Structure 1
Amino acid sequence: MAMGKWSFFSGISICVLLNFASVAAAPKGSLITGLPGFNGVFPSNHYSGYVTFDDKNLFYYFIVSERNPSKDPVVLWLNGGPGCSSFDGFVYEHGPFNFEEGKPKGSLPILHLNPYSWSKVSNIIYLDSPCGVGMSYSKNQSKYINDDLQTAADTHNFLLKWFQLYPEFVNNQFYISGESYAGIYVPTLSAEVVKGIQGGQVPVINFKGYLIGNGVSGSQFEGLSALVPFAHGMGLLSDDIFEALSGLNIYDILEPCYHDPASDQHAKGNASSNLPISFQQLGATDRPLKVRKRMFGRAWPLWAFEKDGKFPSWSELALQGSVPCVNDEVATTWLNDESVRKAIHAEPKSIAGPWQICSDRIEYNGYSAGSMLPYHKNLTAQGYRALIYSGDHDLCVPFTGTQAWTRSLGYKIVDEWRSWMSDKHVAGYLQGYDNNLTFLTVKGAGHTVPEYKPRESLDFLSRWLDGKPI
């Protein structure tokens, strides 16, 4: 028996040492050894902490690839808002865990491994940016005043310092990704990274391209010019009636804003909807747990209230009764538990403040960088790869506008409009352009594509990162 125990624990020690050796230069104390709510073994190493500069403390959570850390790309993930935490993506979309609501209500959620985590094929960094978002903070309140160009400069500064902390990844291919208002974050940051490479900044980041999901572009192709044709084409309004939009969840037109999370909406259909059940079931998800970021309240995103480049705070919108359709109870419960914050090396609430899915403490001057079309044109013309994907049931940033602006770049079509497959089924459609630009739709997905279609999202990501046809 003693010999058996020795052999068993020696085996564990060898496995642990081999796994830990993959990030030999990681900052001391950054390794995450366990998480409240999860009873199991991490499939790969997790690290987290702060990168500090200019009185700003930017928080990151880094997951080493479960496939081949030394060869797989490094992917940075940014949620939008502006002002929303990238833990939105971590908890509800493509992070390493699926979160099961705790019982009784309000207790810590239970974590299960996510079979469709993007860490299956990439080393992924979840970054809370700009300063004042999520776990990122400053003791100088003036650092919470921000705009697009300052955010890009700060995130580039973060990357340079991060690769100094994790030098074994500096030669890996690097991609920038995000969704929604990250349609502004990603191109502006990409341009900043390219400028740094061309200017000889070290370390030299091995930047290869970017991907954006349901992202705004700051161009004439979005807003009502995209929303109205989309809504009309989906049969949501007649030629002369626009008022029907008031009761819709714009993040997923198949989901109501008011919904009982305990009910299986897609299994039995929505009795109040005029849509056939087969159409409603387009939004069904492969995610094994029913706890998703359900949509409640009035459905308009923060950018809809932009005035003269300024955005109201989320708390101001709440006072007006115009709260976006987001229920973040699971993430809020978990990330505001002090034992969780300690486990992920985040400062306590007394220092960094409570975690919010979208911060109400930042002042953001939005769309200050102008239209993103020149950015996309410049980046792709230089050979950087771009994947622009859209959930085709998103009314917040409809695919019609994204399809229009990608076409407007004027590139030659090299892969004519066609379906793409996942799990032997049509998962959506794509069109490939010259200069490594691809526009792709995901059938039945809402605004946050991996939340609705996790299997399909991992499929297109892995093929695209590996340079294989989608």
Structure 2
Amino acid sequence: VLVCLILRLSGNVGAAPESALITSLPGFSGAFPSKHYSGYVTIDGKPSPKNLFYYFVSSERNPQLDPVVLWLNGGPGCSSFDGFVYEHGPFNFEVGNSTGTLPVLHLNPYSWSKVSSVIYLDSPAGVGFSYSENTSNYVNGDFQTASDTHTFLLKWFELFPEFVANPFYIAGESYAGIYVPTLASDVALGTKTGAKPIINFKGYMVGNGVSDPKFDGNALVPFAHGMALISDSMFEEAEAACNGNYHEPKDQKCSNILDEIDEALSGLNIYDILEPCFYGSAAKDDERKNTSSLPLSFKQLGATDKPFPVRKRIFGRAWPFHAPVRDGIVPSWPELVKRSGLSVPCMDNTLATIWLNNEAVRKAIHASPEAGEWTLCIDIAYTHDAGSMIKYHLNLTAQGYRALIF
């Protein structure tokens, strides 16, 4: 508390780097309601450094006092521009007037920046605009990613010292259910061991997160049954064949019924099971060509009030239904489609791809040409080496850190 008070009274030493300030964005014609910054933080890596890209939106309410939130999308291997463009960023993105034109940006009345300052980070190296000169740095795991992100934070707060006293939270979704607790543990340990600058870490948030391979995997079949996505008879057959062990089936009979469940759930919007991924007269004919056929039950739901780009874009990672986490190369859905011909709905990320690969946009946000083409998710070599997150949650909450799992 004393440290925070001294920093407040002294006005902090230094300020945000002017070279990172964003003054305008193609597609947006108004004035920013708060300051935006973006650029790179370089951290050590072997055999060459890693350049981690961030986009920072300061709070529209009271940036001097409001919390700072680090946002991480999951994958592993997906850019946090997913959250920026399609979820809680400062703008809503509207399809351009003609095919291939830049999206039109409008202020988002529900942006998290209404009440907090948000850092959107592309992590680990190789994801989004983050890069290294040597692609061997793109082989990652849970512990390495947490360590790199912690180093990023320490360096970022050195660049933005005026925010070091603000309450700090870590948030993310999907595989960030691993990223967030492991990073939070590193930050908490760093505070204890005197890592500088001292981060005013208060807690963390995880949405729809991976937590524990066994518990997550074994929960999916009962969930599908409880939500009436599979029949009573199919569920009873799975129970009898697998004896509750859906994560690692022990015999062919169990594997076969799990394959049947996979087939029964094909076409499902895994992020919102009651919402069609693609439906309604607002869609253009050429956009319809990019989507898969939907189950009859989805079509019967009718139109939706959700913005079309949001409905259409859901971009899942390619985990099998009954095996949410596997080591090795993690394919994105489009890659899985190419390999297997599977039907995958909601895989469109056209708006983000057009905007973030536009030369003027990339110049405006200080994205390096060396980062190459921006894609929402990459095929990434990744090792899931942190194990279950249950012990991490227990340890962090026992220390008094706040946690929201939603």
Shift of the 238–37 alpha-carbon distance from structure 1 to 2, 3 Å rule, reads same
| Deviations 1:300-339 (CA, angstroms, capped at 9, x unpaired) | 6333377752233336424223567421000000000010
* Equivalent position of 1:68 in the other structure: 62
Matches within 5 A, 1:35-434: 35-54=25-44, 55-223=49-217, 225-241=218-234, 242=261, 243-256=263-276, 259=279, 262-263=282-283, 272-273=296-297, 277=301, 284-285=305-306, 289-292=307-310, 294-295=312-313, 301-304=317-320, 309-314=327-332, 316-320=335-339, 321-322=341-342, 325-348=346-369, 351-360=370-379, 362-365=380-383, 367-389=384-406
* Equivalent position of 2:289 in the other structure: none
The residue type paired with residue 31 of structure 1 is L
Unaligned runs of 5+ in 1: 1-20, 265-269, 390-470
Shift of 1:248: 2.0
In 2, are the aligned partners of 1:256 and 1:295 still within 8 Å (CA)? Answer: no
Unaligned runs of 5+ in 2: 1-10, 235-260, 285-293
Shift of 1:345: 0.7
Whole-Å Cα distance in 1 between the matches of residues 389 and 193 of structure 2?
22
Q: Secondary structure at the match of 1:291?
A: helix
Shift of 1:273: 2.0
| Deviations 1:28-50 (CA, angstroms, capped at 9, x unpaired) | 31100000000000000000000
In 2, are the aligned partners of 1:98 and 1:114 still within 8 Å (CA)? Answer: yes
In 1, are the aligned partners of 2:357 and 2:374 still within 8 Å (CA)? Answer: yes
Q: Secondary structure at the match of 1:191?
A: helix
1:29 pairs with one of 1, 10, 19: 19
| Deviations 1:364-403 (CA, angstroms, capped at 9, x unpaired) | 11x21000000000000000000011xxxxxxxxxxxxxx
Q: Secondary structure at the match of 2:310?
A: coil
| Deviations 1:389-439 (CA, angstroms, capped at 9, x unpaired) | 1xxxxxxxxxxxxxxxxxxxxxxxxxxxxxxxxxxxxxxxxxxxxxxxxxx
The residue type paired with residue 310 of structure 1 is G
Shift of 1:72: 0.3
Shift of 1:352: 0.8
In 2, are the aligned partners of 1:303 and 1:311 still within 8 Å (CA)? Answer: no
Whole-Å Cα distance in 1 between the matches of residues 174 and 316 of structure 2?
13
Whole-Å Cα distance in 2 between the matches of residues 274 and 52 of structure 1?
46
Shift of 1:251: 2.3
Whole-Å Cα distance in 1 between the matches of residues 129 and 70 of structure 2?
17
Shift of 1:244: 2.4
In 2, are the aligned partners of 1:76 and 1:124 still within 8 Å (CA)? Answer: yes
In 1, are the aligned partners of 2:22 and 2:38 still within 8 Å (CA)? Answer: yes
Shift of the 72–134 alpha-carbon distance from structure 1 to 2, 3 Å rule, reads same
The residue type paired with residue 319 of structure 1 is K
TM-score (norm 2): 0.80
Instruction: Give the count of matched residue pairs.
Output: 351
Q: CA RMSD in A?
A: 2.6
Whole-Å Cα distance in 2 between the matches of residues 155 and 216 of structure 1?
19
Whole-Å Cα distance in 1 between the matches of residues 152 and 196 of structure 2?
13
In 2, are the aligned partners of 1:22 and 1:69 still within 8 Å (CA)? Answer: no
TM-score (norm 1): 0.70
Shift of the 142–34 alpha-carbon distance from structure 1 to 2, 3 Å rule, reads same
Whole-Å Cα distance in 1 between the matches of residues 82 and 326 of structure 2?
28
In 1, are the aligned partners of 2:57 and 2:119 still within 8 Å (CA)? Answer: yes
Whole-Å Cα distance in 2 between the matches of residues 308 and 115 of structure 1?
38
| Deviations 1:430-460 (CA, angstroms, capped at 9, x unpaired) | xxxxxxxxxxxxxxxxxxxxxxxxxxxxxxx
